[in-house]
A and B are shown apart, each in its own frame.
Chain A
Amino acid sequence: MTEPMEARLEREWRSLLEAIAAGRSPLDLPPDRRAAVSRVALLAQLEEVREEWSSLRTIVDEGTAARFANAAWTLKDLLAHLASWAREFTHEVAAVSRNEGFDYAIPYAMSVLGPNAWNEREVVARKERSLDEIFREFDEETERLQDHVAAMDEAILYQPAAFPLAPSGRPEERLFLPPSFLVSGKCLHDRYHFAQIRKLLERFGA
Chain B
Amino acid sequence: MIGAEEKGRSPLENRVLRARARGEMSFDAAFETLFQEYRRIVASWLAVRVDAGSVDDLAQDVWLIFYSRFRRWEFGTEMESEDARPVLSFLFRTCQFVARGHARLTRTRRSVPLEEAEGKSAAEDLLRELEAAKALSLARRLCPEEELDVLLAKLAGMSAKEVAKTLSITEAVVDHRYRDALARLRVKLKVQGEERS
Contact = CB atoms under 8 A, between A and B. Distances in A.
A40 B136 contact: no
B40 A13 contact: no
Nearest to B36: A25
B64 A35 contact: yes
A43 B100 CA distance: 8
A43 B104 contact: yes
Contact of B68 (A25, A36, A51): A36
A9 B135 contact: yes
Nearest to A16: B44
Interface residues on B, range: 35 or more
Contacts of A47: 97, 100-101, 104
B68 A20 contact: no
Contacts of A70: none
A203 interface: no
22 contacts: A9-B182, A10-B1, A13-B1, A13-B136, A16-B136, A17-B40, A17-B44, A20-B39, A23-B63, A24-B56, A26-B31, A34-B64, A35-B68, A39-B105, A40-B101, A40-B102, A42-B101, A44-B65, A44-B98, A45-B65, A47-B97, A48-B93
Nearest to A192: B72
Interface of B: 1-2, 28, 31-32, 35, 39-41, 43-44, 47-48, 56-61, 63-65, 67-68, 93-94, 97-98, 100-102, 104-105, 107-109, 134-136, 139, 151, 155-156, 168, 182, 185-186, 189, 193
A5 B104 contact: no
Nearest to A47: B97
Give 7 closest A-B pairs by Cβ, nearest first.
Answer: A43-B101, A44-B97, A36-B64, A44-B101, A150-B108, A47-B97, A41-B61
Contacts of B1: 10, 13-14, 17
A45 B47 CA distance: 20
Contacts of A24: 56, 60, 63
Contacts of B63: 23-26
